[in-house]
Amino acid sequence: MIDPKEVTALVKLLDDPDEEVYRHVEERLLYHGYEVMNFLENSWEKSLDPVLQDRIINIIHKIQFREVKKELNEWAMSGAFDLLQGILIVNRYQYPDLDEQKVINQLEDIKRDVWLHMNYDMSALEKVKLLNHVIFKTHGFSGNTVNHQDPQNSYLNLVLESKKGNQISLALIYSLIAQKLDIPIYGVNLPQHFILAYVDDQEPVPRGFEKHDGILFYINPFNKGFVFNKRDVDYFLKQLQIEPRKEFYLPCSHIAIVQRILRNLISSYQQLGAREKADELRELLEISGFNTPSGTP
């Protein structure tokens, strides 16, 4: 338990002009972590001193960032089984007060709208056609082609609100909903793109497609759920002059997906000149356990 008198005294010293005093105070407050958040927030609200307010905001951010690093490391080291949990931890980097239940409810609403029209005798292509209709027609999701590099495209909570996102955020919404309905659709970490694979060893191969490694076909959520074949992936890589590798065709791990989100955010913030944010996101990328090789979920 913290001593309220000690914390009050520390907060009062935050505006001390002596940098050494400030560093000592900051160190003590960071040591206490979330226990001092209410004290800091109350002091910020009552203060009219811009220097003090800036210092309080800085310490609050450091406490929150440290918590995000801890949670992300624990998620990765414990097996990264819950993809949505990993995504939400990344979202909390920018939105520490994120209402996670609201995000979960929004996904459940979309899932329900698919489930209401779903027949489990449907073929793989019929299920994808239904997903496409509900996600892109009923709920109006689409790719943000105007401002593709905006970091908001990578935060799931914002994409669910705006209905616009980048390749990976739309693919994640699509695959998370599909998996909730036991439809085997998983992310594929293609260079310069992120697509989905429909994986089912038992399902008959649709006419015009060829099954490989259990994959019936691929889906491009950024293009409203367009369905395509392995040959199209071959052609895409050839156009990019990239040597085909097996991992470009197969579902990737949850950790690889979160890494991709972080890299997108780093690139976005770099382009905006937000160097500190880009550096902090690199710290998240380098967290212990993030050297796990890509693999099936």
State the pLDDT at residue 149. Answer: 85
With 0.75 as the threshold, say if the pTM is over it: yes
pLDDT at residue 38, as a whole number = 79
Residues of the chain scoring pLDDT < 70: 1-2, 48, 288-297
Residue 291's pLDDT is 47
Residue ranges covered by each domain of the chain = 4-77, 83-285
> For position 208, what pLDDT does the model report?
80
Q: Let me know: does 280 contact 187? Beta carbons within 8 Å.
A: no
* Cβ-based burial of 1 (10 A; exposed 0-12, middle 13-18, buried ≥19): exposed
The pLDDT, as a whole number, for residue 293 is 42
pLDDT at 145: 86
Residue 122 is predicted with a pLDDT of 94
- pLDDT for 1: 60
Whole-angstrom Cα distance, residue 5 to residue 109?
47
* Best CA proximity match to 190, nearest among 267, 266, 247: 247
Q: What CATH number matches the domain at 4-77, 3.40.50, 2.10.25, 1.10.1220, 1.25.10?
A: 1.25.10
